[in-house]
A and B are shown apart, each in its own frame.
Chain A
Amino acid sequence: MKLLDFLKGERKKSASVAKERLQIIVAHQRGQRDQPDYMPMLERELLEVIRRYVKVDQDAINISLDRDDDCSVLELNVTLPRS
């Protein structure tokens, strides 16, 4: 069996696939961990307002909240289409 595996060429070990998948999902989870509960709603409503004026895609908006020691910065990135 081992010899067969060797001849077929080593496939990627399942544990390293697991590690990669976990690193991505955990990073995503942590990004959401500290954000206030209103963030998804805020994101949706901001997008609505912007869309009243400019035609942008759902995924053209990127919102994040960064916290420093004494203040928080709400960062909003919108990719506008070339007009």
Chain B
Amino acid sequence: MAKIIVVTSGKGGVGKTTSAAAIATGLALRGNKTVVIDFDVGLRNLDLIMGCERRVVYDLVNVIQGDAGINQAMIRDKRVENLHILPASQTRDKDALTSEGVEKILDALVEDFDYIVCDSPAGIERGAQLAMYFADEAVVVTNPEVSSVRDSDRILGLLSSKTRRAEQNRDPIKEHLLITRYNPSRVDGGDMLNLDDICEILAINLIGLIPESEAVLRASNQGIPVTHDQKSDAGQAYTDTVSRLLGETVPLRFHEYQKKGLLSRVFGGGRR
């Protein structure tokens, strides 16, 4: 039985797709049979981040409408065994994604896989609601920035009410906070919300902290999920995140500002 994990945020541009790709890759690298599904119908991008955009033949909507089988639509990852990608459709028809259709697909996948990662679109419309509806766990991606934190709180409200687990009165979805684009230097300078403040405001368990990193753009440029770049801070931080998702206890890294030497501290105003 696969665990269904939704990667969501409310706000756009905070790193949902990057995180979904990195987490799915990390889960598969750890030997779990994983599929990552793009729910952003009309604006698919997961295929680009995963580097398989030229191998897309069929998509999610084709499967829902019966034009293709699920195995025809899934793309095998070139780099990691056991990793599959199910791309979103580029159709502009907003009603193409149906609850019954999504349920049918997930039911078919749940038997064969260990993890199903759902990459949610931004916003709180149909695509986002369907991405979270069937989930067992949620990774809420948040930037240390006011609008992102507020939107994450809105999403938490939806997770606790507009999902299958909520409607059936089952155990609630396990909610995890993933802070991305964290800049310890700006936090130290007092111009960026620190992780304790964000955790306090949102009051959910922190699953990972990804530092703002040049490696992320480099990875998306090349279509190689950043988890593969184990020399980079972001790559290592995603690996840590995956370990925690798998239930391991891993100490937090990359959240502290590397302080300057004594001289620059004396002349730089000291610690704030």
Chain A interfacial positions (CB closer than 8 Å to B): 2-3, 5-6, 13-16, 18-19, 21-23, 25-26, 29-30, 33
Contacts and interface: CB of A to CB of B under 8 A. Distances in A.
A18 B146 contact: yes
B187 A15 contact: yes
A5 to B, nearest CB: 7
A2 B271 CA distance: 11
Nearest to B149: A22
A23 B199 CA distance: 11
A15 B150 contact: no
Contacts, number: 48
Given A14-B190, A16-B190, A21 B146 contact: yes
14 contacts: A5-B269, A13-B189, A15-B187, A15-B192, A15-B193, A15-B194, A15-B197, A16-B190, A18-B145, A18-B146, A22-B146, A22-B149, A22-B201, A26-B150
Contacts of B161: 33
Nearest to B189: A13
A6 B266 CA distance: 13
Given A3-B269, A14-B191, A22-B201, A33 B157 contact: yes
Interface residues of B, number: 23
B268 interface: yes
A14 B272 CA distance: 13
B268 A19 contact: no
A6 B269 contact: yes
A11 B24 CA distance: 44
Interface of B: 145-146, 149-150, 153-154, 157, 160-161, 187, 189-194, 197, 201-202, 267-269, 272
B150 A2 contact: no
Given A13-B190, A13-B191, A18-B193, A29 B268 contact: no
Given A21-B146, A30-B157, A2 B269 contact: yes
Contacts of A16: 190
Contacts of B193: 15, 18-19, 22
B190 A22 contact: no
Nearest to B270: A2
Contacts of A2: 267-269
